[in-house]
Amino acid sequence: MDLRDRLLVQVSTRDVYDAVALAGHPGSGLVFTGQAAHDAVRMVRRNGYDGPLLADRRRYAGSARVRGTARLSADWIADQVEAGATAPLTDSGYIGKRDHEALHAILEQAIQWEGAIAVLPVHPRWVAEDRPVLVRTITDYGTPVALVVEDGPPYRPLPLPLLSAGVAALGALAHGAEWAAIGVREVLRHLYPEPHEVRGGWRRGGARSAFVPERLDFVPVERLGEGTCGCSTCHGRPLRHLARAEEIEVNSHNAKVLHRLHNRLLRATHRERWWWELRDATLTA
Ligand SMILES: [Zn+2]
């Protein structure tokens, strides 16, 4: 099974019971997140899910994140293979601004495992000013990679797979990335700089956001407008109905509208142009 052209849904391990419902359509797949992600992969596989499955340990995020020079775990790779992951991901630490040592340490270790994907969680400078060095280094090692880009200024999409992304996942696919993963909830769509302040404080029920195709972005459910949605979750109702909906309903709306956009992308004769036209249309809307 390969990952080509897949738009994956990135979920927490605790979402394991709902996950398959969000990734049932062709062209999709799942990334489980956290220390027990390989257990979720095993469980979903045993239950007969035959789409792509990945496990992202995410040691690179949070206040206790490790630096990219940390030793990568061979057991973590073996556990994923044994669980039935499509390809094992490295349990990389974070690659800070100009931390060449960390970048090389991850790639150097990853090449020893055939078929493993080197996870590269990078400071935003790596996809802006230092982009040529990043691309050259990745090309030199020749090992498959997946980027996680820390929150920062907008950047031009790279033709490289993305984990824990928002709508940038579609941008990456449009620019030739083999696959990309969109997080099902806010925290899985970002890599926050550390230390970070939680904006807006703690909201009851968590920060649920719905994808609004006209805005090409996720909008907190409390701020949804009058627009209607024709997906098979919303049935033509105004999107605002999601403010009172269960999280699974919001997420299945998200999965459906993103799947529809993904299909349009795959049918486009010129994907990059399709992406920029879509961006322009939503920015001027
Ligand atoms: Zn909908």
Residues contacting residue 257 through CB under 8 Å, at least 6 positions apart: 211, 213, 229, 231
- Please give the pLDDT value at position 40: 97
Q: Which of 196, 226, 261 is the last residue of a domain?
A: 196
Gap from CA of 121 to ligand 1 centroid (Å)? 32
- 139 is a domain residue: yes
- Is the pLDDT at 28 greater than 50? The verdict is yes
Q: Which of 169, 196, 223 is the last residue of a domain?
A: 196
- 32 is a domain residue: yes
Give me the domain span that covers residue 95.
Answer: 6-196
- Please give the pLDDT value at position 76: 98
| Same domain, yes or no: 49 and 140 | yes
Gap from CA of 27 to ligand 1 centroid (Å)? 19
- Is the pLDDT at 206 greater than 60? The verdict is no
Gap from CA of 239 to ligand 1 centroid (Å)? 7
| Same domain, yes or no: 248 and 162 | no
Number of structural domains in the chain? 2
Least confidently predicted of 17-26, 55-64, 177-186:
17-26
- 214 is a domain residue: yes
pLDDT digits (tens, 9 = 90+) for 237-282: 999 999 999 999 999 999 999 999 999 999 999 999 999 999 998 8
Gap from CA of 236 to ligand 1 centroid (Å)? 8
Gap from CA of 244 to ligand 1 centroid (Å)? 14
| Same domain, yes or no: 183 and 212 | no
| Same domain, yes or no: 63 and 184 | yes
- 261 is a domain residue: yes
- Please give the pLDDT value at position 195: 83
| Same domain, yes or no: 26 and 92 | yes
| Same domain, yes or no: 239 and 186 | no
Q: Which of 72, 261, 272 is nearest to 171 (CA)?
A: 272
- 1 is a domain residue: no
Gap from CA of 240 to ligand 1 centroid (Å)? 10
- Please give the pLDDT value at position 61: 96
150: left (phi over 0), alpha (psi -120 to 50) or beta: beta
Gap from CA of 26 to ligand 1 centroid (Å)? 18
**Which single residue is written with the structure tokens 């996809």?**
127
| Same domain, yes or no: 210 and 192 | no
| Same domain, yes or no: 170 and 221 | no
Gap from CA of 254 to ligand 1 centroid (Å)? 7
- Is the pLDDT at 204 greater than 50? The verdict is no
| Same domain, yes or no: 177 and 232 | no
Residues contacting residue 8 through CB under 8 Å, at least 6 positions apart: 23, 28, 29, 30, 31, 52, 54, 179, 180, 181, 182
On the 0-12 / 13-18 / 19+ scale of CB atoms within 10 A, 244 is exposed
- 201 is a domain residue: no
Gap from CA of 260 to ligand 1 centroid (Å)? 11
- 78 is a domain residue: yes
Least confidently predicted of 14-23, 39-48, 163-172, 267-276:
14-23
| Same domain, yes or no: 92 and 185 | yes
Gap from CA of 241 to ligand 1 centroid (Å)? 10
Gap from CA of 204 to ligand 1 centroid (Å)? 23
Gap from CA of 16 to ligand 1 centroid (Å)? 22
- Is the pLDDT at 202 greater than 50? The verdict is no
Q: What CATH number should be reported for the domain holding residue 83? A: 3.20.20
Gap from CA of 157 to ligand 1 centroid (Å)? 27
- 118 is a domain residue: yes
| Same domain, yes or no: 214 and 273 | yes
Gap from CA of 36 to ligand 1 centroid (Å)? 31
- Is the pLDDT at 105 greater than 50? The verdict is yes
Gap from CA of 228 to ligand 1 centroid (Å)? 8
* pLDDT more than 70, % of the chain: 95
Gap from CA of 15 to ligand 1 centroid (Å)? 20
Q: Which of 196, 221, 243 is the last residue of a domain?
A: 196
Gap from CA of 280 to ligand 1 centroid (Å)? 23
- Please give the pLDDT value at position 205: 45
Gap from CA of 137 to ligand 1 centroid (Å)? 41
| Same domain, yes or no: 191 and 221 | no
Gap from CA of 34 to ligand 1 centroid (Å)? 29
